[in-house]
Structure 1
Amino acid sequence: MESSSYIISPALDGDEAVIFVPGLGGRTKFVDGWNEPGLEPVIHRANWSEPMNVPSIEERGAALSSLVARSGVTDVVLVGHSMGALVCLEAGKHLERRLRGTVVMCQYPPHRTPLSPLAELPDRALAEEIEAPPHILNTTALSEYARLWRSEYRLLNRYLEADPRPLLDAPLIAVGATDDASSWNADSLNDWSQYTTEWLSVQMIAGGHQVVEQLPPETLREWVGKLRG
């Protein structure tokens, strides 16, 4: 039995699913706001079961795809934010025909993403750089959070240096934010075309790296509908 994996909430039920995978820090509470009464499809959120256990991006992708396969879902759209977009890329290569499409938000494709220097910052400077919530900035546990963040950035850097890259057989929507250093350049986002045999659509929205937390549910469902055709 796997010691850690993703926990999907609400639980997967039926043939189709839309799953949101967060980036560093794992914030997903805002996903509840996407599931207002009467809105379909339901957006499921993926949380890592052991937040202080930091496996590789490849391992996380494999774990997520295994969970989807065991659930019986045969039509899945993955939505990944920041590093979560890379997890979706890795999960997608295992899901094969189960994958209907992927939305990657605030993340350049691996070969266009520079190695991150953030792992070398002091605790508070690192927390401020990634826009950590105020209650984390002022807690005595900040050093433990910072240790986790550094571990994830080191994993990210190792992943960015890896080769070969996954190639998905499903369409991609790459979403950039105009004030986000990780996704403001539409030309760089266009290079996601190298990771799919299907079509790519680049969408630009106003905001910074955490714009996903203010994303209107109608906008996300529009993208999901476009992927499903």
Structure 2
Amino acid sequence: MNAQEPANYVVSPPLDGGGAVVFVPGLGGRTKFVDRWNEPGRGPVIRRAVWSEPMNVPAVDERGAALASLIDRADASDVVLVGHSMGALVCLEAAGRLDRRVRGVVVMCQYPPHRTPVSPLAELPDRALAAELDAPPHIADTAALPEYARLWRSEYRLLNRYLESYPRPMVNAPIVAVGAKDDASSWSSENLDEWHSYTTERLSVHMVAGGHQMVEELPSETLREWLSTLSC
């Protein structure tokens, strides 16, 4: 990457100026499972948005602005943004900037900002933080852990700062809010109902089995059913 270029999202496959479904991951940025959603011959293609410099951690609203700018430059329209965890908040920020270019937003495992408590995880020591995040052994059990822990703490501190900021974006498109029954960040459908405060259109709420990483096991058919409701 050219040193003059700022960190940004890289969308794969690249945006081509038409409609697009873009998935934005949360902490850790895992997106490999998106391949499973893209069954041969079945549209629309679900694209991954990956931050170009993983160890450079900008604020949530800055990431949302970067994603919106990328979509705007590609002249994409009829866009659906799908975000998991912190990625859902990035989608909220991007959608608020893109206005009518966005057809809908799917937020998974994330309460709306005013219902999300400030996280205490930023203050945990390295190993305790890795345990809380269920970090894989190739990170938790190696010399790389301190650097990853630094990144995780930075993410949580920026998240906490975002949760305490105002005003909130408003989305001029429907929102689908998805909670997981064993996830502390989304188990309450009552809290998820309050996503209605962030859209001028309709809100639908769905609950699924599993914990915070349920997105990695989510069947393609289920996701596509939610996407189809955004066309109604």
Q: RMSD between aligned alpha carbons?
A: 0.9
Distance 2:10 2:31 in 1: 12
Distance 1:41 1:218 in 2: 12
Q: 2:109 aligns to what?
A: 106
Q: 1:57 aligns to what?
A: 60
Match of 1:224 among 220, 224, 227: 227
Post-superposition offset of 1:221: 1.0
Q: 1:32 aligns to what?
A: 35
Q: 1:71 aligns to what?
A: 74
**Which deviates the most, 36-45 or 77-86?**
36-45
Match of 2:118 among 102, 115, 118: 115
Post-superposition offset of 1:198: 0.4
Distance 1:2 1:203 in 2: 40
Q: 1:5 aligns to what?
A: 8
Match of 1:19 among 18, 22, 40: 22
Identity %: 71
Match of 2:208 among 205, 209, 212: 205
Q: 5+ unaligned residues in a row in structure 2: which ranges?
A: none
Match of 2:179 among 176, 180, 199: 176
Match of 1:147 among 138, 142, 150: 150
Distance 1:217 1:135 in 2: 28
Match of 1:138 among 136, 141, 149: 141
Counterpart residue type for residue 222 of structure 1? E
Post-superposition offset of 1:131: 1.8
Post-superposition offset of 1:38: 1.6
Q: 5+ unaligned residues in a row in structure 1: which ranges?
A: none
TM-score, normalisation: structure 2: 0.97
Post-superposition Cα deviations, 1:88-120, rounded to whole Å, max 9, x if no partner, equal 000001111100000000000000000000001
Q: Number of residue pairs matched?
A: 229
Q: 1:189 aligns to what?
A: 192
Counterpart residue type for residue 119 of structure 1? A
Distance 1:41 1:136 in 2: 34
Distance 1:5 1:171 in 2: 26
Distance 1:148 1:212 in 2: 22
TM-score, normalisation: structure 1: 0.98
Runs of 4+ more than 4 Å apart: none
Counterpart residue type for residue 140 of structure 1? A
Q: 1:43 aligns to what?
A: 46
Post-superposition Cα deviations, 1:179-221, rounded to whole Å, max 9, x if no partner, equal 0000000000000000001000000000000000000011111
Distance 1:134 1:33 in 2: 24
